[in-house]
Structure 1
Amino acid sequence: MERLTHLNVGRWIGYTRANQMLGQPEALYTNEPGKLRPQNLLIVNPSNNGKTRIAEKFVRLHPQRHSDEGNNEIIPVLKVQMPPEATNNRFYTVLLTELGTPVGYFGHHIMRETLTLRLMRTVGVRMLIIDEVHNLLSATARRQREMLNLLRYIGNDLRIPIVCLGIREAYLAIRSDDQLENRFHPVLLPLWESGLELARLLASFETILPLRGPSQLSAKPLSEQVLRRSEGTIGEIFALLTGATTTALMQGEERIASEIMDNTDYNPPSVRRRIVERELR
């Protein structure tokens, strides 16, 4: 169905909390590059609560472009993901891949490090964003120390701010290094709660739903029903509303009512976990 396809196209929902979050890396991007010890940012939130979408929006606000001379690419914001088995070599490989370097150029560790830093300078990287930084904790204690030292080295050598994204464990990883903890300002994206901000978020969501009638998602008791079923993360809210929209359209309805929400085939994370655990017994 065409309207359902339209719904699944990724789009930015500019809710208040997200717009405020964009302002913090923007301040670092404007003020910190070139400083001897640039300040960094650590964005921590529950899984599926919007941190990656915010980072992607920030990258789009500072897109890759040609230099004024036209003979060089400029990548002002470089966004990568911490590899699941984090090592210095693997992280440099991730950086080089995102910079578009052919695999055959990677070579030995020292060459990889030198090439990576030179390329980041050449393309004018002003900020490094690292998603899923909690993957550090899957490494041994020695590997964790090596990776944390590497983050500090890259920031100091290039004199650029680093923004790390992750769940609660990301903070534990950064906190294990006193010097990094002092330079990473933690910012929390908590679970959603009932109130004005949730109402604004749901009102924003409703503007993109391909339904012809008003659902009044921001009004109680429907907003409370959405919050209760989704368990308070923005990704689950979107999944629930997508499912409810599908249910409404399949039933020939043009709005989401409480009964539609009840009949939507959707399970929140806690229920999904219980189902899997029961099946594994």
Structure 2
Amino acid sequence: MADHLLDHVRPYLDRDTEERVAFIRAPRWIGHHTALEAHERLADLLSRPATLRTNGLMLVGPYANGKTMIAERFAVEHLKTSPEQRVFIVQTREGAGLAHFYASVLQALKAPTGNVRDVGRKAAQLDHLLASLAPRILIFDEFHNALRGRTRDIEAIFAFLRRLGRVHDISPVLIGEVAVYDFVNATDEMASRFELCAVPRWQYGEEYLALLDSLEAALPLAKGSDLSEEKIARKIFSLSEGLIGEVVAILTKAASVAVRSGAELITMAMIDRLGHIPLSARRQAPVREALL
């Protein structure tokens, strides 16, 4: 019975509706090929020998494609196995300039930021903290936020990234959209310091169909939905535009409806009723026009 479900998911069929919906809506790790490769690359940075010129990594791809979850999962796994924290995730702040960038790092290290304009004091504070905490990897999520300022500010941020390796033996990891790749590869000096780990949009094919099968097995519905069947798989692919975050969002909403309605499976009609608008079409959506 319910052979399409993973063993740890099957018991949820006996839970009440709200418990099942809460389980469906909970964040879940999807160990697809690109995610596993990224974890291997991050593990290599963590285990490398000490050096005076560290290499870094870029995780680059479109929005809503799982880059942040890859980084967060790696950091959590590291904390479970290491007695001390050697991997920190910096949520790069909106706002141009070195001061905002330093404030992002200080926040990640759980340090007070003080006067946002006092760049010199922040630099000294960071040097002290980095020497004390001795991180191995600093992951800068949404690094493209730091690339919207004046040229001299961006140059100063890249100088800081070089200093991380030269002075503190830290490998920087930059997560963001294609602008990150463009800025890093604008000079040979920076290009030589960062390897690319691409997180591209999914293509319609066997790997994508396997993704649908794995998601179906993780959603506690009593009946099989056959999500990898051509017609419904194409529909989900079209609406998601090949973005894993959008695939998960569509199936999460549809599975919640399936539980609450008693249907116990996801159908084409159910997905149609969601009224999901692809990301690229949201600026021109009829609902937006109604707001004017």
Instruction: Give the counterpart of 1:95 among 96, 101, 105.
Output: 105
TM normalised by structure 1 equals: 0.89
Given that 1:41 and 1:186 are in contact with CA atoms closer than 8 Å, whether structure 2 keeps it comes out as yes
| % identical aligned pairs | 32
Query: 2:250 aligns to what SS in structure 1?
Result: helix
Let me know the Cα RMSD of the aligned residues: 2.3
Q: Of residues 8, 12, 30 in structure 1, which corresponds to 2:29?
A: 12
Gap runs ≥5 in structure 1? 68-73
Bigger mean CA deviation after superposition, 189-198 or 104-113: 104-113
User: Which whole-Å deviations, capped at 9, do the CAs of 1:75-106 have from their partners, x for residues lacking one?
Assistant: 20011022221322222222222212234598
Q: Give the Cα–Cα distance (whole angstroms) in 2 for the partners of residues 261 and 157 of structure 1.
A: 53
Q: CA deviation at 1:173?
A: 2.0
Instruction: Please report how far the alpha carbon of residue 121 of structure 1 lies from its aligned counterpart in structure 2 after TM superposition.
Output: 2.6
* C-alpha contact (below 8 Å) 2:86/2:137 kept by paired residues: yes
Cα shift readout 1:164-221 (whole Å, capped 9, x = no counterpart):
0111111122223431111111221111111121122112211221211111212322
Moved more, 177-186 or 228-237: 177-186
Change beyond 3 A, Cα 1:140–1:105: closer
In the other structure, the counterpart of 1:129 is 139
Picking from 178, 183, 194, the partner of 1:173 is: 183
TM-score (norm 2): 0.86
Where does residue 110 of structure 1 map in the other structure? 120
- Give the distance between the partners of 2:147 and 2:237, measured in 1 at CA: 31
Q: Distance in 2 between matches of 1:64 and 1:75?
A: 10
CA–CA distance in structure 2, aligned partners of residues 214 and 120 of structure 1: 51
Question: Does 2:66 align with 1:50?
Answer: yes
Q: Which residue of 2 aligns with 1:155?
A: 165
1:222 corresponds to which residue? 232
2:77 maps to what in 1? Answer: 61
Give distance in 1, aligned partners of 2:288 and 2:70.
32
Matched-pair contact (CA < 8 Å) for 1:64–1:75: no
Q: Which amino acid aligns with 1:48?
A: A
Structure 2 counterpart of 1:70: none
Taking a change above 3 Å as real, the CA distance of residues 82 and 64 of structure 1, as seen in their structure-2 partners, is farther
User: The residue matched to 1:221 in structure 2 has which SS?
Assistant: helix
Deviations 1:226-274, CA, capped at 9 Å, x for gaps: 1111111001001111121123234321111222222223211122121
Tell me the SS of whatever aligns to 2:59: strand
Q: Match for 1:3 among 9, 20, 25?
A: 20
Flag the 1:278–1:137 CA change in 2: closer, same or farther, 3 A.
farther
Q: Are the structure 2 counterparts of residues 277 and 261 from structure 1 closer, same or farther at C-alpha, using a change threshold of 3 Å?
A: closer
Shift of 1:114: 2.3
**Residues matched between the structures, number:** 274
